[in-house]
Structure 1
Amino acid sequence: MFQRVLICTDFADGLHRLTGFVSSLALAGMKQIVFLHAVPLWEKGIIPRVDNEKIEQAQTRLAKTLGESSTDVEVKIEVLSGKSVDIILKVAQNYQSQLIILGSQSRNLLTEKLVGSTMADLSHKTTIPLLVLRPQLISTYTAEELTLRCQHLFRSLLLPYNGTPAANYLVQQVKQLAQQQSARYVQACTLCWVLETTGNRSLPQKISPQQAQQSLSEIKTDLEKLNLQVETEVREGSTVTQILEAATMADISAIALSSATIGTAQEWLISSFAAELLRFSWYPVLFFPPQRR
């Protein structure tokens, strides 16, 4: 499972709260946890320079809230100055991180196009899985709620599936997680195929509900061999709406996704399902970047 984890926080995303829940994160299988904060370069002068004052303030802030951890969990604090994406990639490489956790504000497509997205940038520069958490949710959890959330980050996953290469790649990644985990951190998953409706019922669907269910049943059989509890469901309607409804009814911990179009010119022309889900989902999203060729 994910034993070496990098948690990135800008303090506005609420993720710095996780410094007080190291023991709970250890119950999700984490053995090494690195808390990272990127400080922008100080650009008031002619030449940008490292803002040592803000670095010291951030280090103090993270260390102050760092809770006691069991002896088998290695905890590090890293505060560096520069561009956040570059720093994240550097630290992830240094610590050989297997998962990067970061927050994501709810934005529309135009805002994201103008200001950019750290998650979108990272998805094109790393193959390390990304766990995207909604800051408003993390900030409002009570300590008791956050304790349970940290313990069960990956217990039940929702996998949107539609027979595409990206969907098949997603299933393969979840299979690898199940095969590699030393304990049952991932216990269950729900496969959901949404047959997108255009509003014109006279147009034939590319695949029937029966065909979709048959495909899901075959994947279910394969995943159940890995000691996973698997449910399948076929829905009709708007893909994003139906997936979020399925997540609510299935009592899931996170939605798992993969896509090769997030942050690309193709997405600006036709917004992808994965990008839309990342914008609107209040559920944690476990994103698997595509393999680089």
Structure 2
Amino acid sequence: MDEVAPGQTTSTDAPASAGETLRAAREAQGLSLADIVARTRIPTRHLEAIEIGDYGSLPSSTYAVGFAKGYARAVGADEVAIAAQVRDDVGRMSRAAHYVPYETADPSRVPSRGIAIVGLGIALAVVILAALWFGTGLFRGGPATNEPVIADSGMTAPAAAPPVAPPAPTPTGGQVILAATDEVWLRVYDADNKTLYIGTMKPGERFDVPAGARDPMINVGRPDKLQVTLNGAAMPPLGTGERPIKDVRVSGEAVSARLAGATAGAVQTTQPVPAASGVAIGNAGAAAD
């Protein structure tokens, strides 16, 4: 039987996976998974998935690489090599959806090109007829005129409606706070991809986004478990929690814009309607939900 020189491997030896390398490094230091959880704040189930190479149970390939690098730093392993090995492993798997999920259109529900062209032609004809009707009086049995209609002397013009007060301006800057309502994994980083925070937040924990950070963004595993506020004003939930989201801007300006969009329809307006025979009737507009 052939002998194998010391330091050499046989052709049947396979290189250790990233998870095996990390587990071996942890065991060599006498550390448990609980010790790694305490150092990295990565949930135990995610660390176990990395050790056995079950990357499909992780939220996405981005999280798989990030968790593996955090694990490597905790045990003193080469995080660059580990990250490259994990990317190779998950490169063959489906990647998770991004911040704005979408659905593929059902071909059976999409109108044919011919129907679309006919519909466009009908819509254009309606617009042209409406312009002729209101602009020239061509179809109303009289000559076109641009002169204003003089009201009967017995009629009085209705009073002009009072101007509606504009909504209060939303603050465009200030302190953005990220607070966990349940256990949630979060990464905060700036436009240079510099990590400002990474880890699993416990219920009640918060992170104050640095005011000087350049275009800060977040990746979050459970967006429904993260509350975003600006100067105490809460922003609507970022998602339903059915899937993770990434590259969400959380600067003061970005959060302010979201708050303004959420409250734009919440202004109550009241406009009087002219009444016949001298009777005034008020018409109050309902506030938008």
Question: TM over 0.5: same fold?
Answer: no
Higher strand share: 1
TM-score of the pair, normalised by structure 2: 0.23
Larger radius of gyration: 2
User: Which structure's relative contact order is higher, taking Cα pairs within 8 Å and 6+ residues apart?
Assistant: 1
Report the structure, 1 or 2, having the larger helix content: 1
